[in-house]
Amino acid sequence: MHSNLSHRLFLAVMTWIAAFVHIGIVVAQDRPAPANTSNAWDQGWKILFDGETTAGWKTYGSDKPIVGWEVINGALVRNHSGAGDIITTDQYDQFELEFDYKISPGGNSGVMFHVSEDAPYPWMTGPEIQILDNAHGKDPQKSGWLYGLYQPTKPKWVARVEKQANIPSPTIPDATRPAGEWNHVYLRVTPNQGELLLNGVRYYRFHKGDNDWNNRVRQSKFSAYETFGIGAEGHICLQDHGDRVAYRNLRIRPLGVDGQLTASPRAPLQIATTPAFTRLRFAEMSTETEEGKIATIRPVAMQETPAGYFLVALQQGKIIAFANSPSAEKIIDFLDLSDRVADYRKGNEEGLLGLALHPQFKTNRQLFVYYTAQAPPRRSVISRLTFNKSFAFTANRTFTEQILLEIPQPFANHNGGSLAFGPDGYLYIGLGDGGSQNDPLANGQNKNSLLGSILRIDIDHTDQEKPYAIPQDNPFAGQDDARPEIYAYGFRNVWQLSFDTKTGDLWAADVGQDRYEEINRIVRGGNYGWRQKEGSVQFGGEVVSAADSGEFIDPVWQYDRHHGRSITGGFVYRGEKLPELQGHYLYADYVSGNIWALGIPKLHPTVRAEQLTSNQIPVIAFAQSALGAAFILTEGVPANAFYRLQRMETSKTDSAP
């Protein structure tokens, strides 16, 4: 909201005392979380408010000292009438800005950017993020809206899938927490695109200065001010609207003109990706699709058998096999499940998603798969496939399918699908929260739902009417308020999980919403936070008590949108050919194509993940051979769908004499 003098004076007289009593006590009791700049994944931020003084701020349009804004227990509080608007002494062009705010009941304030001192009021020059008590505030422009210009919108794809699933959510999202509670705002402003997230929920995107922006300005009250929104840089402003408001953890991260971090990344390790099986070919009859295009594959899981063959699950619903040899040529159409597997082209995250060999595969010939069913209703299926005794990789294969679990899925996305056997012999299953966005059914924190969890089941025994048993030491076994299959929960979309072959630790990557991608070390009964947290920060409008917040387990590593948008989990490397990677967790990002190694033995906030190669590959999955060699799986023709990691050779010109 944009202030005027009479409104300020009225509110100062009528509500100042009540607001002071309410929010003053809360601020005094609620210690702020420090703005974290020590973590290696969180570099480049500049503190705008040190939690102790008003250094770095000045009164708008005046050189007089700041009055009416006070530092109370680490928060910058508009504490007295007539305080006035304050701005940063420095100016910023393209940047990321984030802060926490706490508004008083019925209160109103604002945070502006690209502000100049060329007008009587800052809102005449810089766009404003509205700060409001949505429940009792009198302004129709709600908190987080870009005042008079942009309001939260539900993506069209979300509206479509929610309508199909008959699971409605509000047309205009409201992720705010009530007056007296801390809320978090993230703002990104670049020449290419801007966006705002409130409590982790994306509200809108904008492009300052494009046709859409200019049309909105022309239709708003700001069209009367020639100075509005024209500056490519300016101050950050905190508005005094006559109401008590507190801010903390204000920090800014300058960006380059391309919208990326200005700091130069370290040189990648001298590890290269190289095609692993360059001679692989389909049989002549299957080299083209029905449309006459070269057939590609989407491998999602790969495991080596005792006979030295790789079995590869393709999202298309097939399993292929080939020899673990660089000279391998022949692809064996090992198994075709496409008659029961959903077409991934209709739902990008559906299809055949997981594969795991029974630890005794050599003798019992059992293979486990995870797929989304083709026939309605929409559901995920975990099955045991048992092959005939005389089967061979080249011929004479028949199998029986035993469905172990069928899990209803409300939406097509966030299916998870990763399968892995632990050193205890139990089968672990990674699931997503059921889909759409923001976990609309709150499955992540619902232990009565299998969604949003990692399951652990005993597939060698049965239990009552189930074709599997519940391990006695499962954390929720025997409890009435939880599914006994759950081993850990609070996940958005696990992709993928793996066990450290040396320590037995379980690792899982969790795909984030709009801020952070996660790597988690999984413990029995652990709650990993979603949808009340994304990464290490709170998410959504639910108020989380200190006791509940302490229950959540933060990721051991996370990264933001400067590094990627969709994590692909790998495994802890224990091979011998690349000793520099020994004990490092390998992972990648499907969107950015970057591949990293995270040192596990020395995990510390200052430790950095090492980028392995400057080559960018949309990694779908990782795999390892029986001897620990690392492979990377991506979409492509077979000869270009599998890569291995190897040390880069130093050319003679680079060698020391």
If residue 320 lies in a helix (H) or strand (E), which one and from where to where? strand 318-323
Judge if 445 and 541 occupy the same domain. yes
Report pLDDT for 548. 75
Judge if 511 and 551 occupy the same domain. yes
Judge if 447 and 492 occupy the same domain. yes
For the entire predicted model, the pTM comes to 0.91
Judge if 506 and 532 occupy the same domain. yes
DSSP secondary structure, 436-504, as one string: SSS-TT-GGG-TTSSTTEEEEEBTTS-BTTBSSB--TT-TTTT-TTS-TTEEEE--SBEEEEEE-TTT-
C-beta separation of 568 from 594 below 8 A = no
Domain assignment of residue 655, yes or no: no
SS3 164: helix
Buried b (16+ CB within 10 A) or exposed e, 414-443: bbbbbbbbeeeebbbbbbbbbbbbbbbbbb
Domain assignment of residue 259, yes or no: no
DSSP secondary structure, 215-277, as one string: HHHHTSGGGG-TTTT--SSBEEEE---SS-EEEEEEEEEEB-TTSSBSSPPPPPPSEEEEES-
Domain assignment of residue 262, yes or no: no
Report pLDDT for 654. 39
Judge if 132 and 226 occupy the same domain. yes
Domain assignment of residue 481, yes or no: yes
C-beta separation of 319 from 312 below 8 A = yes
Domain assignment of residue 260, yes or no: no
Beta bridge partners of 508: 497, 520
Torsion angle of alpha carbons 612, 617, 619, 622, nearest 10°?
Answer: -40
Question: CA torsion sign, 218 to 222 to 228 to 234?
Answer: negative
Report pLDDT for 284. 57
Euclidean distance between CA atoms 104 and 242, whole angstroms: 11
CATH of the domain at 634: 2.120.10.30
Judge if 244 and 343 occupy the same domain. no
* The pair of three-digit structure tokens given for residue 371, joined into one six-digit string: 């797929």
* The pair of three-digit structure tokens given for residue 550, joined into one six-digit string: 């302490």
Buried b (16+ CB within 10 A) or exposed e, 188-205: bbbbeebbbbbbbbbbbe
Judge if 436 and 583 occupy the same domain. yes
Place of tokens 């700001």: 222
Place of tokens 């940063």: 88
Judge if 250 and 275 occupy the same domain. no
* The pair of three-digit structure tokens given for residue 359, joined into one six-digit string: 């630890």
Task: Give the domain range for residue 362.
Answer: 271-649
C-beta separation of 243 from 106 below 8 A = yes
Report pLDDT for 260. 83
Place of tokens 């008083």: 104
Best CA proximity match to 516, nearest among 548, 552, 563, 550: 563
- Final residue before a domain boundary, out of 192, 227, 254: 254
Torsion angle of alpha carbons 280, 286, 289, 291, nearest 10°?
Answer: 130
Report pLDDT for 347. 76
Judge if 481 and 590 occupy the same domain. yes
Q: Consecutive 10-residue runs of the chain (657 residues): their mean pLDDT?
A: 39 34 38 47 90 97 94 96 96 97 98 97 97 96 98 91 87 94 97 94 95 97 95 97 97 90 69 93 64 82 96 96 94 93 88 97 96 96 92 76 97 95 98 95 97 98 94 96 98 97 97 96 97 94 79 94 94 94 95 92 68 86 96 95 86 39
Judge if 316 and 218 occupy the same domain. no
Euclidean distance between CA atoms 301 and 353, whole angstroms: 7
Q: Taking the CB of residue 156, how many other CB atoms lie within 10 A of it? A: 8
C-beta separation of 457 from 471 below 8 A = yes
Domain assignment of residue 186, yes or no: yes
C-beta separation of 108 from 249 below 8 A = no
Beta bridge partners of 402: 384
- E strands, 104-206, in order: 108-115, 128-132, 183-189, 194-198, 201-206
Q: How many domains does the chain have?
A: 2
CATH of the domain at 138: 2.60.120.560
- Final residue before a domain boundary, out of 229, 254, 279: 254
Q: Report which DSSP code applies to 589.
A: E
Judge if 614 and 569 occupy the same domain. yes
Backbone angles phi, psi at 353, to 5 degrees: -120, -15
* The pair of three-digit structure tokens given for residue 292, joined into one six-digit string: 């006459």
Report pLDDT for 46. 96
Residue type (1 letter), 84:
G
- Final residue before a domain boundary, out of 204, 223, 254: 254
Per the rule left: phi > 0, alpha: psi between -120 and 50, beta: everything else, 37 is alpha
Judge if 373 and 237 occupy the same domain. no
Euclidean distance between CA atoms 106 and 178, whole angstroms: 10
Domain assignment of residue 67, yes or no: yes
Domain assignment of residue 514, yes or no: yes
C-beta separation of 448 from 481 below 8 A = yes
Place of tokens 């006459």: 292
Best CA proximity match to 564, nearest among 592, 586, 596, 598: 592
Report pLDDT for 290. 63
Q: Note the helical H segments in 482-597.
A: 546-551
